[in-house]
Structures are given as C-alpha cells and as structure tokens.
A = this chain, B = another copy of it.
Amino acid sequence: MDKPARASRVTIRTVAADAGVSVAAVSKVLRNAYGVSDSLKQKVMTSIDKLGYRPSTAARGMRGRTFTIGVLLVGMDNPFLPPLVSSFKQAMGKEGYNTLIGVGEARTHVESALIDSMIDMRIDGLLLIAPRISGATLDHYAGQVPISVIGHHENTAKTFDTTNVDDFSGGRAATEALIKKGYRDIAMLCLKHSKRRDGEVWYERERGYHAAMQEAGLENFSRIVRIAERPDEMQPQLLTLLEEPGRPEAFFCWSDIHGVPLINAARMKGLRIPGDLGLISYDNTAPAGLPLIGLASIDQNPTILGQCAADQLLSRLKGRAEASHAVIEPELIIRKSF
C-alpha cells in the first residue's frame, strides 16, 4: 500500500516493472550499452513507448551524459549568428545531442556565470562563439567540459578546439580588392575595444588590412577609425566621419554591424557609392545583401563554421584528447559598393 501510491511520474523503475526486467537492463537499453539481447531490448522498448517514458536529464547529469550541448553567444543581435547556430544544432542533433543556448550580453562576468551554470547542469560540451573571456580562463573551463571556440584565434591552445575563418586573409582580400579598383586612400573601420587584442577576429582583420596596404606601398594611407558599437553612439560618429575634410576614398569595415549603417548614412548624405566612396564590409549578413543596400562583404561561411565546430565537439566526446584548430577560407561577395 505504499509502492503503487505515486503513479504520477514514469521513471526507469516504472519501465523496469512494466517490462518485467531490472532497472539496469532498462538503463543499458537506453544507453545502447554492450550486452543486451534483442528480446530484452524489444520488451523494454515496448514499455518505454507504451508508458511514454523519457529519462530525466537532471538525474542523468548526476552520473553520466546529459546529451545536451550548450552554446554561448555574445548577443542575439548579430544576424551572422543564426545560420551558424542552425547548422551546429543540426549536426549535433543528428548524433542525438540537444542544443541549448545562453546569451552572454557581451559582458565577461555574465559569460562566465553562464558557462558555470551550464557546467552545473552537466552539459556534455560547450560551443563558445566570440567569447569575451580570455584563453587562460578557457583553459580552466576546458578542464571541466569539452570546448570548441568560434571567433577567437587561439590556435596554440592545448585544452580546447577552435574553428575560425582566416581573418587575416579576409582583411587582406577585402583591402586588395579595393586597391585593385584604384582606391589608394583606404581606411579601416573597426570597433572600439577595451583591452584585449590577441586572438580577436577584428585584430586579425586589422593585420590583414595593414599587410595589404603595405604590400601595395600604401602604408602612409593606413589608418584605423574606431567606432562605438551601440547604435545610438555609432550613428553620430559615422556622420562625423563622413563629413570630415580628409575623408578617405574607401573603407574596409570589420563587420556589417558598422558597414550597413555606414553605407546607409553615406547614401543618405547624397554620396554615390561607388564613385564618391568605396565600401567593403565583413560577415555578409542579410541586410548587406538587400538590393537597396548592396554592400560587398566578406562571407565567413557560417554553415561550415557551425559544422566544423560540431565535428570537433563530437570527436572530443568520442575521446579525442589533442587539440584541433580548424581554419576556413573566407570569400569576398562582390556587390556594387566599390
């Protein structure tokens, strides 16, 4: 008169009882473990279906895998992210992993708290996209869970994997394309940064820009203009920039985040693009591709990025120990903005 009292939740025990086997047997079937007869498997499967049983991730997390992967985003605003996350999700889903997303608000301590919290719920792996936290901190987390990082060049890391676009090459290609068109006074538009440089994607792009300028003997024209990222701060800065007397003939923008508002502001001021101003940007997000915008941009191939990161995580989960660092070639999508 005590056992059948709480018929409420279907647990592994309910299934075992229904199938007339032990809980261990059910657990084994669940995990596809070695050494289960087909008949046992059949019985258990039937009961599972009949009872609508689903293992508790929380309980699983206490002993084994949760079959859940966490993804940490800087923010949700960047239209570059959706296709990346989508391809990652799909690849992980094929192998039976769920994907849960946390948003770091571009603040270091929010990011860390989120990673902690994901580890606390015993996720099996972690994908970090453009994290703000440093390599040393990443090492710390990598000791607790397999990690793959996108958007932070750290190809000497030993404890975690990275997938990146060759941003040096991307920055150079964009700049070279502008030079080839005849522009000489080419500036780069980049974000205002607080401290770190090494490994940042924008820093690699800066290096690529400088390299191209130097190779063309244009180092005297080299300059980087730094613009805020918050829309309300960015707008007036862009306008000031366009009104300056010594305005450059062309801009290479580190991201569509700045590139799209810039081409907008410039056209609204009556500048012909190309003609009065040449523009190439980075990320090739949807707005850049809108016909009315028509902004040439470096494509990072987000689908491949997501796929690669998923492969890295999956092979880590299968036991790989040595680090893997994948690099993908970017591609300039030509549009009539330069």
Contacts and interface: CB of A to CB of B under 8 A. Distances in A.
Interface in A256-301: 260-261, 263-265, 267-268, 286-287, 290-293
Contact of A58 (B70, B98, B122): B122
A222 interface: no
A291 B263 CA distance: 10
A86 B76 contact: yes
A170 B85 CA distance: 32
A328 interface: no
A99 interface: yes
A247 to B, nearest CB: 19
B268 A66 contact: no
Nearest to A56: B120
A1 interface: no
B86 A82 contact: no
B82 A75 contact: yes
Interface string A28-58: 0000000000000000000000000011111
Contact of A117 (B68, B113, B117, B122): B68
A85 B76 contact: yes
A114 interface: yes
A89 B68 contact: no
Contacts of A101: 100-103
A120 B77 contact: no
A57 B114 CA distance: 12
A57 B265 contact: no
Contact of A287 (B54, B77, B99, B290): B290
Contact of A102 (B55, B100, B293): B100
Contacts of A102: 98-101
Interface string A86-120: 10010000000011111101000000011011101
Nearest to A70: B100
A81 interface: yes
A265 B290 CA distance: 9
5 A-B pairs closest in CB distance: A58-B61, A76-B82, A57-B121, A101-B101, A57-B120
9 contacts: A56-B121, A68-B117, A75-B86, A89-B103, A99-B103, A100-B102, A260-B290, A268-B291, A292-B293
